[in-house]
C-alpha cells in the first residue's frame, strides 16, 4: 500500500511557500499543493490540522510541519529518511 502524497498548504505570494515548493521539486519529492489563499475550506482544513493559519504547512502521513521554511523542512525530511 502506498503512502498518500504529502500535502503542502501554501499562500499565493508567500516567499517561504515558493522556496519550499522549489526545494521539493528540485529533490523530485512528489507532493500535492493546496492553495489556501481565497479558499475558505482549504484554509479551515489547514487550521484544523495544524492549529494555526500560517503557510506553508505540510501534512505528511499524519505528521504536521507548520509555518516553516526550507531550513526546518530538511531535518523533517531527514527524519523521514527522504533526504
pLDDT confidence of residue 83: 86
| pLDDT of 26 strictly over 50 | yes
d(CA 12, CA 37): 6
* pLDDT of 1 strictly over 70: no
Reported pTM: 0.93
Specify the pairing of strand 7-10 against strand 57-60: antiparallel
For the chain, the structural domain boundaries read 10-68
- 39-64: pLDDT as tens digits: 999 999 999 999 999 999 999 999 99
Average pLDDT over residues 16-26: 98
Amino acid at each position: 500500500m502506498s503512502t498518500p502524497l504529502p500535502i503542502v498548504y501554501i499562500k499565493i505570494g508567500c516567499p517561504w511557500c515558493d522556496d519550499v515548493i522549489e526545494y521539493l521539486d528540485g529533490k523530485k519529492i512528489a507532493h500535492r499543493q493546496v492553495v489556501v489563499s481565497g479558499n475558505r475550506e482549504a484554509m479551515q482544513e489547514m487550521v484544523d490540522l495544524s492549529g494555526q493559519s500560517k503557510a506553508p504547512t505540510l501534512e505528511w502521513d499524519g505528521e504536521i510541519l507548520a509555518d516553516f521554511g526550507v531550513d526546518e523542512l530538511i531535518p523533517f525530511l531527514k527524519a523521514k529518511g527522504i533526504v
